[in-house]
């Protein structure tokens, strides 16, 4: 799948409020994981932009080349373009996208009015993370190893919704590391390259030092039973962010992919309420 093909998964929904939301999907993910939230926000009057991140929705070999700085530069340009046409811009993301949203608020404090941090991921410490994960924290420093090793996505795939999970599982079970499939652009990559995990680590290492300087109002939402990242992540963001206007909402019936899981309606409702609240 070439670069032009991956762009067909981007979406921009024009609103009538003069306000816009930049949504950032997770690393190895896809704009489809933000689709439901984007449509709900647009129905509430917001313009919504969500583009496939650099080297995503393509081949595994291409995905493994991405750097966090490349993603940050790409998202910065999206923010700049929205700011030209809208009186206010809000930035939100899922997982890595949540951490990138905080980074953008740090770099462009006058451009980001509010932050939406959905399942923010700093530590991969959820109940479904393999017990050997601690070894990777040492091995990813070896360039050969991190550029070679791929972690196959495994049950429950971030989803408590059994019907949705079953469809994703059928695709992931038959996925191969060689070649590509349009379904990977819908469901996300069946593999999590160690190189991407390392780039995520480098991003969080940077953003940890930026948290205290970020003053924009922030909404943090995280699932109690998140299979990939425990509530420790959300509480870390809440405890270290410099904003005096901060809210943490804990979801009781979801796993990691809260934008498409069983409480996606609640997620959308809380985000809209937060963005409409006068600060």
- Please report the pLDDT score of residue 158 as a whole number: 85
- Please report the pLDDT score of residue 3 as a whole number: 52
Is the pLDDT confidence value at 2 over 70? no
The lowest-confidence range among 23-32, 126-135, 230-239, 247-256 is: 126-135
CATH, range 3-276: 3.40.50.1820
What count of Cα atoms within 13 Å lies in the side-chain half-sphere of residue 117?
31
Looking at residues 32-52, what average pLDDT do you find? Answer: 97
- Please report the pLDDT score of residue 191 as a whole number: 78
Residue 211 is given by DSSP the state: G
- Please report the pLDDT score of residue 8 as a whole number: 75
Residue 165 has a CB neighbour count (10 Å cut-off) of: 18
The residue among 94 and 189 whose pLDDT is bigger is: 94
- Please report the pLDDT score of residue 135 as a whole number: 63
Alpha-carbon distance of 251 to 246, in angstroms, equals 16
On whether the CB atoms of residues 264 and 37 are closer than 8 A, the answer is: yes
- Please report the pLDDT score of residue 77 as a whole number: 98
- Please report the pLDDT score of residue 279 as a whole number: 65
The model's pLDDT over 148-185, given as tens digits with 9 standing for 90+, comes to 777 777 778 888 999 888 888 777 676 554 444 444 45
Model pTM greater than 0.75?
A: yes
The lowest-confidence range among 41-45, 73-77, 133-137, 244-248 is: 133-137
Residue 113's SS3 state is coil
Mean pLDDT in the chain? 89
Residue 155 has a CB neighbour count (10 Å cut-off) of: 13
Alpha-carbon distance of 49 to 34, in angstroms, equals 10
Looking at residues 198-218, what average pLDDT do you find? Answer: 97
Is the pLDDT confidence value at 134 over 70? no
Name the residue ranges covered by the structural domains of the chain. 3-276
- Phi and psi at 117, nearest 5°, equal -110, 105
- Please report the pLDDT score of residue 1 as a whole number: 41
Looking at residues 207-222, what average pLDDT do you find? Answer: 98
Residue 76 has a CB neighbour count (10 Å cut-off) of: 16
On whether the CB atoms of residues 230 and 256 are closer than 8 A, the answer is: no
Residue 174 burial (C-beta neighbours within 10 Å; 0-12, 13-18, 19+): exposed
Residue found by looking up tokens 């943090």 in the block: 220
pLDDT over 90 percentage in the chain: 66
């Amino acid at each position: 799948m070439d670069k032009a093909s991956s762009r067909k998964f981007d979406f921009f929904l024009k609103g009538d409020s003069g306000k816009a939301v930049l949504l950032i999907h997770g690393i190895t993910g896809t704009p489809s994981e933000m689709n439901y939230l984007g449509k709900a926000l647009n129905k509430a009057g917001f313009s919504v932009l969500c583009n496939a991140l650099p080297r995503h929705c393509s081949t595994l070999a291409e995905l493994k080349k991405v750097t966090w700085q490349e993603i940050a530069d790409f998202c910065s340009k999206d923010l700049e373009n929205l700011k030209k046409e809208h009186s206010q811009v809000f930035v939100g993301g899922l997982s890595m996208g949540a951490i990138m949203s905080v980074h953008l608020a740090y770099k462009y404090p006058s451009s980001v009015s509010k932050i939406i941090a959905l399942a923010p991921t700093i530590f991969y410490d959820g109940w479904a993370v393999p017990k050997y994960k601690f070894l990777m924290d040492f091995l990813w420093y070896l360039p050969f190893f991190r550029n070679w090793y791929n972690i196959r996505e495994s049950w429950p795939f971030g989803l408590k919704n059994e019907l949705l999970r079953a469809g994703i599982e059928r695709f992931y079970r038959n996925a191969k590391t060689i070649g590509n499939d349009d379904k990977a652009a819908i469901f996300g990559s069946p593999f999590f390259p160690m190189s991407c995990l390392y780039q995520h680590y480098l991003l969080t290492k940077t953003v940890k030092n930026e948290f205290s300087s970020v003053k924009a109002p922030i909404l943090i939402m995280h699932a109690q039973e998140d299979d990939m990242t425990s509530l420790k992540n959300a509480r870390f963001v809440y405890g270290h962010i410099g904003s005096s206007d901060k809210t943490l909402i804990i979801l009781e019936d979801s796993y990691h992919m809260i934008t498409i899981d069983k409480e996606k309606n609640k997620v959308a409702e809380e985000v809209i309420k937060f963005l409409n609240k006068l600060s």
